[in-house]
């Protein structure tokens, strides 16, 4: 068992685990740094009495416990009951809210991905449609979401959509954009030689699309998916807040923002939940990329 | 080639899996909604049973009100099917809307053959637009805001003026020396904007001050942090919400809760620039239609029963509100209901009946401050349905003359 040369297959797995541990370590280090900066700023503020040293000029944010609660108080609050009469901890309440938001965001992500890919294929097929559609696709992203969200919800109520489905549509509105734009670039990415080879086989357009263009588009699509996943969470939270949909993390953030002065730790807790949700969807896409891009060199476009 | 082939299929399979998961999640969302509806239905059933039990207790103060409801129930034993009604609120579930939640939970709507769904508000949900678009059958809105929408062409009519007083205050710390709008001079005065500023502007104008020269209006969030941090000298606050929030906050200087003694309040009802707030609005294009008229009267009557029940059973009523939102604090909502009751009771002409003098004052302030270009037409409100509803309620106490507020002790965080 003492082979003199390092066998890449035998040592592949431990290296993979090692990389994973390294990644977790970096995340923990990042959190530790953030906490240190937060508490450091508070300590600095307490030391100077809230002003820049040697001046009367106030610090940009007051460092007292009302404006910036201690990080350990925020964590402690997570394990206190939501309200005095509830058995549920804030943590479990936030977890449920984040899951509720995740479901809407995921639906939005899927709708947005399908629409985005469909647009990319349509634009690939006809340069005439591409010229016609691209300006509209760009314009679509300049319309403020908060102007659109209440309209979608009102239309949804007038038709067959529930409010949660309307929120998913709002999320899809944000997510289709990067998928369509990067998807088109990716579908166009195979070089002329590869396309000519397909042509020499007399491969129909659809075969070329699925066997050459889509596989070639993957390095373009995954960055778009990562962006789309983050946008789907943002879109869902904005949609929830705008439409007053109950049960998700957006509503909780808004609720606690309104009660900020009476419980700042709760608002920070709910913001942490929203951030964790963002990390979670990011992780899912990264995992999917790892699986689907296995054996490919240069995973990123 | 074969390698690429399998990769392509893998991508397709992945997409398919995503789509299937989405479908599953989609139905999950629907299931959750269904579940919630079932739960609500069960709650209504339970509440109806509870109401039935309460009737047996003839000495119960609530007995009268419930009795009437059950009396009508007998008359309407032959409910020819239930009318589905959607009520759009202005904001999330809280005691501000306690009467409607109680009317659902205690079965008052059901007893009048109504199946009521309460839609909570959102940041961008304008109740009168939901009403105008047909997404809601009735909406709760403040009078000046709703009249603004009416002036823009949404045909909505005030059919029951539930709150007889304004709940808006301007709150400042004692040491700022602001005891009336005349003291705004040179100060930073907070306001939420979006139409919430007109009582305060009218008050200042009355005192001879002008916001462009004498004081500064500062945009304010819906929390009281700006006041506590000293960024503004006076903050806008509802008696039933933000004012209580200050009293639920620890004073960083003393380590104790702030007290009412630390604060001075300007009450726009006393300054004579108050504008009417929560009212029930109906769809003007449907009023006059016999079925909608009848439904409107029944809806108002049951809502009034809800409010009377919340007046006479405050603690039980707060529990119905708390059941509607998992983040609501019990003492905060108890305080809120007490303050809401103060805004409703006493109602000289009976709950829901418009006080012409307050309507006129609202219009004077609204036109004077440019909220409305001109006074609304006579059809903007009607007391017809509220009067009929009061007739339906028989000898229930619809004026609440003998009601007196309780003292609610607030706790840190309002829990």
| Closest partner CB to B4 (pick from A153, A215, A258) | A215
The kind and range of the H/E element at A187 are: helix A163-187
User: Which residues, 6 or more positions from A131, have their beta carbon under 8 angstroms from its beta carbon?
Assistant: none
Compute the nearest-CA separation of A285 from chain B (Å).
12
Per the CB < 8 A criterion, the answer to whether B324 and A78 are in contact is no
CB-based contact, A258 to chain B, within 8 Å: yes
Model-level pTM?
0.80
Confidence check: pLDDT of B22 > 60: no
In the numeric block, the tokens 């003199």 are attached to: A4
Residue A164 to residue B246, Cβ atoms within 8 A: no
The radius of gyration of chain B from alpha carbons, rounded to an integer in Å, stands at: 24
What residues of chain B lie within 8 A of the CB of A157, using their CB? 130, 133, 135
The kind and range of the H/E element at B116 are: strand B114-119
For residues A253-281, give the mean pLDDT.
90
Cis upstream peptide for A295 (omega within 30°): no
**Lowest-confidence region among A109-123, B10-24, B91-105:** B10-24
CB-based contact, A143 to chain B, within 8 Å: no
Query: DSSP letter string over B117-182?
Result: EEEP--TT--HHHHHHTTS-SEEEE-HHHHHHHHHTT--EEEEEB---S--EEEEEEGGG---SGG
Confidence check: pLDDT of B242 > 90: yes
For chain A, helix (H) and strand (E) counts, in that order, are 11, 0
Nearest to A225 by CA among A291, A173, A285: A285
Q: Which two tokens stand for residue B35?
A: 């579940």
User: Which residues, 6 or more positions from A236, have their beta carbon under 8 angstroms from its beta carbon?
Assistant: A101, A104, A105, A108, A167, A168, A170, A171, A248, A250
User: Which residues, 6 or more positions from B119, have their beta carbon under 8 angstroms from its beta carbon?
Assistant: A244, B86, B87, B88, B89, B130, B136
Cα–Cα distance measured from residue A229 to residue A116, given in angstroms and rounded to the nearest whole number? 13
Residue B326 to residue A82, Cβ atoms within 8 A: yes
- The two domains B41-165+275-414 and B168-271 share their CATH topology (first three levels equal): yes
Nearest to A218 by CA among A110, A297, A111, A155: A297
Cα–Cα distance measured from residue A249 to residue B221, given in angstroms and rounded to the nearest whole number? 20
- Tens digit of pLDDT for each residue in B277-316? 999 999 999 999 999 999 999 999 999 999 999 999 999 9
- B41-165+275-414 to CATH, choices 3.40.640.10, 3.40.50.10440, 3.40.190.10, 3.40.50.1100: 3.40.190.10
Nearest to B313 by CA among B102, B130, B122: B102
Nearest to B357 by CA among B276, B280, B268: B276
Cα–chain center distance at B5: 61
What interface predicted TM-score (ipTM) does this complex get? Answer: 0.77
What residues of chain A lie within 8 A of the CB of B15, using their CB? 113-114
What residues of chain A lie within 8 A of the CB of B413, using their CB? 259, 262-263
Nearest to A111 by CA among A159, A176, A160: A176
The kind and range of the H/E element at B216 are: strand B216-219
User: Which residues, 6 or more positions from B253, have their beta carbon under 8 angstroms from its beta carbon?
Assistant: none
Compute the mean pLDDT over every residue in chain B, rounded to the nearest whole number. Answer: 85
Per the CB < 8 A criterion, the answer to whether A242 and A235 are in contact is no
pLDDT at A301: 39
Cα–Cα distance measured from residue A155 to residue A21, given in angstroms and rounded to the nearest whole number? 48
Confidence check: pLDDT of A253 > 80: yes
State the burial class of residue A283 (Cβ atoms within 10 Å of its Cβ: 0-12, 13-18, 19+).
exposed
Cα–Cα distance measured from residue B212 to residue B291, given in angstroms and rounded to the nearest whole number? 51
pLDDT at B13: 53
- Tens digit of pLDDT for each residue in A142-157? 988 888 888 888 888 8
CB-based contact, A210 to chain B, within 8 Å: yes
Domain residue spans in chain B? 41-165+275-414, 168-271
- Tens digit of pLDDT for each residue in B30-72? 444 444 444 444 544 554 454 444 444 434 444 444 444 444 4
The kind and range of the H/E element at B84 are: strand B83-88
| Closest partner CB to B223 (pick from A100, A106, A259) | A259
Q: Which two tokens stand for residue B362?
A: 């609202």
**DSSP-derived secondary structure letter, B376:** P
Cα–Cα distance measured from residue B300 to residue B354, given in angstroms and rounded to the nearest whole number? 13
pLDDT at A295: 60
- When scoring B35, B125, B171 by the number of chain A Cβ atoms within 10 A, the one with the most, hence best to mutate, is B125
> What's B168-271's CATH class?
alpha beta
């Amino acid at each position: 068992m003492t082979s003199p040369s390092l066998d890449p297959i035998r040592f592949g797995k431990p290296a993979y685990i090692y990389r994973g541990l390294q990644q977790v370590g970096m995340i923990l280090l990042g959190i530790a740094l953030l906490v240190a900066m937060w508490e450091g700023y508070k300590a600095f503020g307490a030391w100077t009495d809230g002003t820049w040293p040697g001046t009367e000029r106030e610090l940009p944010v007051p460092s007292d416990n009302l404006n910036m609660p201690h990080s350990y108080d925020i964590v402690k609050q997570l394990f206190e009951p939501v309200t005095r009469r509830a058995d549920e901890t804030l943590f479990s309440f936030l977890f449920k809210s984040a899951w509720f938001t995740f479901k809407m965001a995921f639906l939005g992500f899927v709708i947005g991905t399908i629409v985005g890919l469909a647009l990319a294929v349509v634009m690939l097929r006809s340069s005439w449609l591409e010229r016609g559609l691209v300006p509209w696709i760009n314009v679509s992203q300049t319309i403020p979401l908060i102007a659109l969200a209440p309209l979608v919800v009102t239309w949804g109520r007038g038709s067959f959509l529930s409010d949660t489905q309307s929120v998913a549509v709002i999320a899809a509105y944000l997510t289709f954009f990067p998928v369509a734009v990067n998807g088109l670039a990716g579908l166009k990415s195979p070089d002329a030689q590869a396309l000519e080879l397909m042509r020499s086989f007399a491969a129909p357009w659809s075969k070329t699309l699925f066997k050459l263009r889509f596989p070639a588009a993957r390095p373009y699509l995954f960055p778009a998916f990562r962006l789309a996943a983050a946008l789907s969470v943002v879109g869902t939270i904005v949609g929830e807040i705008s439409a007053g949909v109950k049960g998700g993390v957006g509503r909780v953030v808004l609720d606690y923002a309104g009660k900020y002065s009476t419980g700042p730790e709760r608002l920070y807790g709910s913001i942490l939940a929203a951030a964790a949700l963002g990390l979670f969807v990011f992780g899912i896409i990264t995992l999917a990329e790892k699986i689907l891009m296995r054996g490919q060199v240069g995973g990123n476009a | 080639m074969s390698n690429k082939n399998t990769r392509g299929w893998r991508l397709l399979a992945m997409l398919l899996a995503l789509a299937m998961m989405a479908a599953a999640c989609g139905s999950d969302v629907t299931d959750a909604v269904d579940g919630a509806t079932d739960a609500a239905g069960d709650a209504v059933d339970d509440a109806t049973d509870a109401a039935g039990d309460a009737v047996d207790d003839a000495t119960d103060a609530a007995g009268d009100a419930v009795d009437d409801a059950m009396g009508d129930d007998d008359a309407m034993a032959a409910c020819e099917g239930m009318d589905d009604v959607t009520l759009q609120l202005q904001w999330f579930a809280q005691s501000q809307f306690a009467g409607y939640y109680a009317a659902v939970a205690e079965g008052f709507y059901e007893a009048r053959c109504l199946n009521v769904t309460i839609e909570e508000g959102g940041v961008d949900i304008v109740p009168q637009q939901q009403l105008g678009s047909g997404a809601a059958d009735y909406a709760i809105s403040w009078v000046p805001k709703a009249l603004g929408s009416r002036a823009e062409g949404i045909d909505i009519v005030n059919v029951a003026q539930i709150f007889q007083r304004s709940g808006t205050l301007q709150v400042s710390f004692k040491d700022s020396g602001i005891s009336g709008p005349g003291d705004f001079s040179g100060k930073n005065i907070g306001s939420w904007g979006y139409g919430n500023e007109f009582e305060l502007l009218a008050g200042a104008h009355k005192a001879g001050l002008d916001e462009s020269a004498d004081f500064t209006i500062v945009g304010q969030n819906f929390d009281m942090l700006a006041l506590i941090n000293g960024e503004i000298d006076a903050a806008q606050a509802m008696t039933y919400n933000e004012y209580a929030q200050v009293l639920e906050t620890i004073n960083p200087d003393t380590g104790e809760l702030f007290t009412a003694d630390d604060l001075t309040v300007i009450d726009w009802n006393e300054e004579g620039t108050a504008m009417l707030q929560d009212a029930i609005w109906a769809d003007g294009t449907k009023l006059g239609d016999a079925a909608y008229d009848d439904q409107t009267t029944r809806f108002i009557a049951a809502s009034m029963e809800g409010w009377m029940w919340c007046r006479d059973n405050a603690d039980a009523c707060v529990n119905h509100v708390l059941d509607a939102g998992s983040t609501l604090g019990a003492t905060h909502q108890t305080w809120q209901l007490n303050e809401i009751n103060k805004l409703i009771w006493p109602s000289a002409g009976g709950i829901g009946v418009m006080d012409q003098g307050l309507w006129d004052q609202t219009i004077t302030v609204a036109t004077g401050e440019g909220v409305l270009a001109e006074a609304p037409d006579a059809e903007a409100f009607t007391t017809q349905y509220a009067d009929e509803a009061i007739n339906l309620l028989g000898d229930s106490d619809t004026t609440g003359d003998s009601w007196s507020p309780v003292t609610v002790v607030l706790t840190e965080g309002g829990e």
